[in-house]
Structure 1
Amino acid sequence: MLRFERRKRLIRVLGRHQEDRRAWGRTEARSRKRKRHWSPLKAIALLGQHIQRVRLVGNDQSEKIRMTLVQAGYRSREAFIIYLALKLLLPIFGAVIALTIILSSEGLGENLLYSFVGVAGTALILSYLPDLLLRKITESRRQKLRKGLPDALDLLVVCAEAGLGLDAALKKAAEDFVKTNPVTADELALLNAELVFYQSREEALANFSKRINIPLATSVVLTLTQAERYGTPLSKALRTLAAEFRRERLTAAEQKAGRLPAIMTLPLVAFILPALFIVILGPAILSALNLMP
């Protein structure tokens, strides 16, 4: 009886072990299949790695491109590789499509000059397309930071006056801005992480200024650096800076209001005055036409 029970228990254990092995095998098969899965982004990244090995761009230009990508919000290493691959692939792809359209069109393929200009122009335009898109994304991100940093600075002043240090104040501001301004929250969270992990706090602040690259961030970094170096109370320094930013925002609003009459002149002349003349002079013109024999 005891042997029978032991045998049943052993069979049960072996069954569970085999079931675990089958489950592990299915998991490994899925992971291998996932690794073998080929996507366009992986292909572009692989091509970019080969481009980077060939060194089509110098070190100085490479660092400049990387900094531009960081300012646009793309901080990963793959972003630079994909950028290089797109810079190479888009002109070739556009030239092939333009050449195919020209050869398939009647008459266009016979004129070699126009065909060459069309193919070269398409390739040239597409070679500048990644730069234009990157510049637009960077400017949009900077615009969001210009709107979010003054409000974040006011929140930092409140946190500093409540007794929090710079690290805790940045963490609190990043948590509060996640929904309203995710770009500002991301930069504040990254600055907080660099302040914790870097040995030199001034280096972390300098990296923050380079990533954002707007005068507002430069003023914040200078103020925080001086407060760290000379022992100035953080709340006092931030309050002075926040008051200055409020004055700058008020001045910018006044400048926009001052430009409003000049901006409204063209719509007034083009749309409002013709309708006004029709309403005022229309009845008089109609009456004069009725009185004419």
Structure 2
Amino acid sequence: MMELLAPLNAYLVAQFGPTGPMMALVVLGGLMIAAVLPALVRRKPDPLDRLHASAGLGPQRDIAKSPERAQLRLDAGNDKLEKFAGFLEPQTAEEMSEAMMRMTRAGYRGKNAVRTFHAAQFALGIAFLALGVAYSFLTSTGEVSTTTLLMSVLLPGGFGYYLPKYWVERRIQVRREEIQNGFPDALDLLLVCVEAGQSLDQGIIRVSKELAQGYPALAEEFAMIAHEIKAGKDKIQVLRGFGDRVAVPDVNSFVTVMIQSQTFGTSIADALRVYASDMRDKRVMRAEEAANKIPTKMTLGTMMFTVPPLLIILVGPSVHDMLDTFDKLNSSM
């Protein structure tokens, strides 16, 4: 056996250096994992596991087949990722709820959003890892150090794995900023609707329509509130859900004010008027704070892009004349 592997080992060392056999083993292991993974996902349940599950033996039951796990999965219909749900979705109700909330805050409300997110992480991680391996094979002309190999293979894989997470976090940040910037205008519109004689529910519907062009994320949230109230859900629960979804301090304060007004029977118009005024003042203060930061941020750019050209214009002719003078002195001597 060693006599058969010796020529292959020598060929790999000659082509890719001392790390050639290790690179070949990494590629072979990746291919074996890719070949075995679908079979593991599609494997039939063990009859012994069914017997343990029916007998109610908790420690020996498969978590993915337990009733608690079954409740976490939503009916995906013809979803192509349904057969990979046990591999792509969280295994506990708390983790599933947290993942769903994070995807909702990013604007992805589909029932398969969590599954798609983890599938994208897995696919991009494998794809960038394969690209790193291919890059190492194609660009290596001699001996390749282990550090270079790890950097060229593992770094792209990690980048591909964390790219969807960065995208989701960026989406959450952008939506929060949009909701925070548009919330004072939404309160003013809601106050106008309430003072005009409309109920709070009708005002929310009207605000969702008016804000669809300027602040689509906030309009979507108000539209969801209106649909949940129409469906018969308790208004206090709807408002609390609104605050949990957006996770913006101003919205959470508004939810608290509305719940207190609903509970104690105080005037909603008065509460909205006071709170809308406070939100306008806060927006002005945030604008002033951002304006005060501009000179500090522009200092570095001014020094980098203004001072060097200015020095060239002012000092350049003098330096040129000095060089000419030195050349004339050297030629005369």
Query: 2:71 matched to 1:51?
Result: no
Q: How does 1:91-170 map onto structure 2 within 5 Å?
A: 91-107=125-141, 111-170=145-204
Supply the distance in 1 between the matched residues of 2:96 and 2:261 (Cα, whole angstroms): 34
C-alpha separation in 2, matches of 1:168 and 1:116 = 60
2:124 pairs with one of 59, 81, 90: 90
Shift of 1:103: 2.2
Q: Cα 1:94–1:272, aligned 2, differ >3 Å: closer, same or farther?
A: closer
Q: Secondary structure at the match of 1:77?
A: coil
Kindly state the Cα deviation for residue 169 of structure 1 after the two structures are TM-superposed: 0.2
> Which whole-Å CA distance do the structure 1 matches of 2:121 and 2:254 have between them?
36
Asked if structure 1 preserves the Cα contact closer than 8 Å seen for 2:135 and 2:152, the reply is: no
Matched with 1:231 is 265
Correspondence for 1:245 among 275, 279, 285: 279
Quick one: which amino acid aligns to residue 82 of structure 1? T
Residue 100 of structure 1: how far off its partner (Å): 2.3
Aligned amino acid, residue 217 of structure 1: V
Say which SS state the counterpart of residue 193 (structure 1) adopts. Answer: helix
CA-to-aligned-CA distance 1:58-97 (integer Å, 9 cap, x gap): 3222221111110011111122221121122221222222
Bigger shift: residues 92-101 or 229-238: 92-101
CA displacement 1:190-235 (0-9 Å, x = unmatched): 0111122243211111110111111111011111111111111111
Does residue 206 (structure 1) correspond to residue 246 (structure 2)? The answer is no
What is the aligned partner in structure 1 of residue 96 from structure 2?
62
* Paired amino acid for 2:180: R
Q: Give ranges in structure 2 of 5+ residues lacking alignment.
A: 1-75
Q: Amino acid of the residue matched to residue 107 of structure 1?
A: T
Alignment partners' CA distance in 2, 1:272 and 1:115? 43
Q: Is the 8 A contact 1:45 1:85 kept in 2?
A: no
Aligned-pair identity in percent equals 26
1:268 Cα offset (Å)? 3.6
CA separation of 1:278 and 1:51: change in aligned 2, threshold 3 A:
same
CA separation in 1, counterparts of 2:197 and 2:188? 15
Count how many residue pairs are aligned between Structure 1 and Structure 2: 250
Cα distance change, pair 77–289 in 1 and its aligned pair in 2 (3 A): closer
Q: Structure 1's 282 and 136: CA in aligned 2 closer, same or farther, altered over 3 A?
A: same
SS at match of 1:219: helix
Change (3 A) 1:285 1:137: same
Is 1:174 the counterpart of 2:204? The answer is no
User: Unaligned stretches of 5+ in structure 1?
Assistant: 1-41
Counterpart secondary structure, 1:179: coil
161-170 or 118-127, which moves further after superposition? 118-127
